[in-house]
Chains A and B, each alone.
Chain A
Amino acid sequence: MTTTSKDPILVVLQLSGGNDYMNTIVPFADPHYYDNRPLLQLAEDDLLKLDDEVAFNPSMGPLHEMYSRGDVAVLHGVGWAGSNRSHFRCMDIWHTAEPDEFASQGWLGKATRQIDPNGENPVTTVNVGQGLPRALVADGVSAASVANIDTYGMLTGVERAEQRAQMLDRFAKMYAPAIGRGPVAEYIAKTGTDALNGADMIAVAPKQYQSDVEYAANPVAQRLRDVAMIHTADIGTRILYTEFGGFDTHAAQATNHPRLWSEVSGAIADFWDDLNGHGVADNVTMLVFSEFGRRVRENGGGTDHGAGGVAFVIGPNVKGGQYGEYPSIEIDKLVEGDLAPGMDFRGPYAAILDDWMGIDDREIVGGEFERPPIFKN
Chain B
Amino acid sequence: MSDRQEVALMAHLMRRAGFGATHDELEHLVGQGYEATVEKLLSPESQPDIDEALLFRYLPMTEYITAAEHAQMNWLYRMVNSPRALQEKGALFWHHVFATGLDKVETANTMHDQIVTFRQHGLGNFRDLLVNLARDPGMIYWLDNQDNHKRAPNENWGREHLELFSLGVGYYTEKDVYECARAFTGWTFTGKSRGLAYPPESWRFDYRAEDHDENEKTFMGFNGNFNGEDIIDIVVRQPACARFVMRHLYSFFVEDEPEVPKWPNERPKNPEAIDMLCDVFIKSDLEMKPVLRALFNSDFFKDAVYKKVKNPAEIVAGTLKMTGAYNGPNPDWGLLSLEPGTMGQDLLNPPTVEGWHTGGEWINSGALINRVNFVADRLRDTSSPGVREMARRIGNNGGAMTTDTFIDRCLFEMGLDSVDEETYGQLASHAEIGGPIVYGENGEFDGFSERVADMLALIAGTKEYQFG
Interface residues of A (CB under 8 A from B): 16-17, 84-89, 91-92, 101-102, 104, 122, 127, 130-132, 134, 137, 142-148, 152-158, 163, 166-167, 170-171, 173-176, 178, 181, 183-185, 187-189, 191-192, 194-195, 198-199, 245-246, 248, 250-251, 299-302, 304-305, 336
Question: Does A92 lie within 8 Å of B261, measured CB to CB?
Answer: yes
Known contacts A16-B352, A88-B261, A131 near B367 by CB under 8 Å: yes
Give Cα distance in the complex from A158 to B457, angstroms: 10
- Are B364 and A336 interface neighbours, CB within 8 A? no
* Closest residue of A by beta carbon distance from B465: A188
Q: Please give me the 5 A-B residue pairs with the lowest Cβ-Cβ distance, nearest first.
A: A195-B365, A250-B144, A300-B152, A145-B366, A132-B364
* One of B55-63, B130-138, B200-208, B341-349 at the interface: B341-349
Choice from A147, A154, A178, A300 contacting B154 with Cβ under 8 Å:
A300
Q: Is the CB of A250 within 8 A of B169?
A: no
Residue of A nearest to B309 (CB): A184
Assembly CA distance A157 to B163 (angstroms): 44
The contact of B364 among A101, A145, A163, A173, by CB within 8 Å, is A145
Task: Judge if B81 is at the interface, Cβ distance under 8 Å.
Answer: no
Asked, given contacts A102-B262, A154-B373, A191-B363, whether A130 binds B352 with beta carbons under 8 Å apart, the answer is no
The listed residue (A122, A176, A245) touching B422 by CB distance below 8 A is A176
Q: Are A304 and B373 touching (Cβ within 8 A)?
A: no
Complex contact B146–A251 (CB within 8 A): yes
Q: Which of B89-97, B275-283, B389-397, B423-431 contacts A (4 or more CB under 8 A)?
A: B423-431
A154 to chain B, nearest CB (A): 5
Measured CB to CB, the closest approach of chain A to B189, in angstroms, equals 13
Q: Closest residue of chain B to A198, judged by CB? A: B365
- Smallest beta-carbon distance A213→chain B, Å: 25
Pair A132/B361 contact, Cβ less than 8 Å = yes
With A152-B366, A155-B373, A194-B365 as contacts: A245 and B463 at CB distance below 8 Å:
no
Report Cα–Cα, A167/B380, bound state, in Å.
13
Contact B342 A89 (CB under 8 A): no
Mask: chain B, 66-77; 1 = CB below 8 Å from A; 0 = not: 000000000000
Q: Taking the complex as formed, is B223 at the interface, i.e. its CB lies under 8 A from any CB of chain A?
A: no
Please give me the residue from chain B that is nearest to A300 by CB atom. Answer: B152
Bound complex: CA A144 to CA B366 (Å): 6
Report how far A158 CA is from B425 CA in the complex, Å.
22
Contact of B147 among A104, A122, A171, A300 (CB under 8 A): A300
- Please measure, in the bound complex, the distance between the C-alpha atom of A195 and the C-alpha atom of B354, giving whole angstroms: 27
Q: Give A298's nearest chain B residue, CB to CB.
A: B152
A157-B377 CB under 8 A given contacts A88-B354, A184-B359: yes
Partner of A122, one of B144, B146, B365, B420: B365
Checking B144, B164, B356, B467 against A251 with a beta-carbon cut-off of 8 angstroms, the contacting residue is B144
Q: Compute how far the CA of A190 lies from the CA of B183 in the bound complex, rounded to whole angstroms.
A: 51
Per-residue interface assignment for chain B, residues 374 to 411, with 1 indicating a CB less than 8 Å from any chain A CB and 0 otherwise: 00110010000000000000000000000000000000
**Contact partners of B458 in chain A: CB under 8 A:** 167, 170-171
A142 & B364 in contact (Cβ 8 Å cutoff): yes
Kindly list chain B residues whose C-beta atoms are within 8 Å of the C-beta of A147: 342, 344, 366, 370
Let me know if A154 and B372 touch, CB within 8 A: yes
A336 touches B174 (CB 8 A): yes
With both chains docked as a complex, state the minimum distance between the C-beta of A289 and any C-beta of chain B, in angstroms.
Answer: 15
Shortest Cβ distance from residue A85 to the other chain B in the assembled complex, whole angstroms: 7
Out of B154, B163, B357, B427, which one reaches A131, CB within 8 Å?
A: B357
The count of residues in chain B whose C-beta lies closer than 8 Å to any C-beta of chain A is: 72
Asked if B103 CB lies within 8 Å of chain A CBs, one says yes
Residue B83 at the chain A interface, CB threshold 8 Å: no
CB distance from A252 to the nearest CB of B (A): 8
B364 engages A191 (CB within 8 Å): yes
Interchain Cβ contacts under 8 Å between A and B, 15 examples: A101-B265, A127-B364, A130-B341, A144-B365, A145-B366, A154-B372, A158-B457, A174-B422, A191-B363, A195-B366, A248-B156, A250-B156, A251-B146, A299-B154, A300-B152
A300→B155 CA distance, assembly (Å): 12
Q: Is B461 touching A154 in the complex (CB atoms < 8 A)?
A: yes
A157-B463 contact in complex given A102-B261, A170-B458, A302-B147, C-beta closer than 8 Å:
no
A136: nearest residue on chain B (CB-CB)?
B364
For A248, the closest partner residue in chain B by CB is B104
A104 to B260, CA, bound (A): 12
Complex CA distance for A130 and B260, rounded to whole angstroms? 20
Q: What A residues does B352 contact at CB under 8 A?
A: 16-17, 87-88, 91, 245
The residue of chain B having its C-beta at the shortest distance from the C-beta of A176 within the complex is B422
The minimal Cβ–Cβ distance linking B339 to chain A, given in whole angstroms, is: 11
* Chain B residue nearest in CB terms to A146: B366
Q: Mark B409-438, 1 if CB is under 8 A from A, else 0.
A: 000000000001011011101100100000
Residues on A with beta carbons closer than 8 Å to the beta carbon of B149: 300
A255 to chain B, nearest CB (A): 12
Q: Which of A174, A191, A302 contacts B462 (CB 8 A)?
A: A174
**Given the complex, which residues of A lie within 8 Å of B366, measured CB to CB?**
127, 132, 144-147, 152, 195
Contacts of B433 on A, CB cut-off 8 Å?
Answer: 166
CB atoms of A88 and B364 under 8 A apart: no
Whether the Cβ atoms of B346 and A130 lie closer than 8 Å is yes
Chain B nearest CB, measured from A312 CB (Å): 22
Query: Hey, which chain B residues are within 8 Å of A166, CB to CB?
Result: 430, 433
Q: Give Cα A104–Cα B259 distance, bound, in whole angstroms.
A: 9
- Report the separation of the CA atoms of residues A216 and B361 in the bound assembly, to the nearest whole angstrom: 31
What residues of A have a CB within 8 angstroms of the CB of B261 in the complex? Answer: 88-89, 92, 102
Distance from B450 Cβ to chain A, minimum over Cβ atoms (Å): 10
A16-B174 Cα distance, complex, nearest whole Å: 23
Question: Taking each of A130, A198, A248, which has the highest tally of chain B beta carbons within 10 Å of its own beta carbon?
Answer: A130
B464 is an interface residue with CB less than 8 A from chain A: yes
Given A84-B169, A86-B169, A246-B104, are A299 and B373 neighbors across the interface (CB < 8 Å)?
no
User: B240 within 8 Å of A by Cβ?
Assistant: no
B375 to chain A, nearest CB (A): 11
Inter-chain contacts of A122 with B (CB < 8 A): 365
| Least Cβ–Cβ distance between B403 and chain A, in angstroms | 14
**CB of B92, distance to nearest CB on chain A (Å):** 17
Residues of A within 8 A of B359 (CB): 184
Q: Which residues of A contact B372 (CB under 8 A)?
A: 154-155, 171
A148 to B367, CA, bound (A): 11
Q: How far is the CB of A305 from chain B (nearest CB, A)?
A: 7
Q: Which residues of B contact A183 (CB under 8 A)?
A: 360
Instruction: Give the complex CA separation of A88 and B357 in angstroms.
Output: 11
Contacts of B466 in A (CB 8 A): 188
B368-A153 in contact (CB<8A) = no
Contacts of A194 in B (CB 8 A): 365
Q: Is the CB of B154 within 8 A of A251?
A: yes
Residues of B within 8 A of A131 (CB): 344, 351, 356-357, 361, 364, 367
- Which listed residue, B164, B373, B430, B454, touches A156 by the CB 8 Å rule? B373
Within 8 Å of chain A (Cβ to Cβ): is B325? no
> Is B153 engaged at the interface, CB distance under 8 Å to the other chain?
yes
A148–B154 Cα gap in the complex (Å)? 38
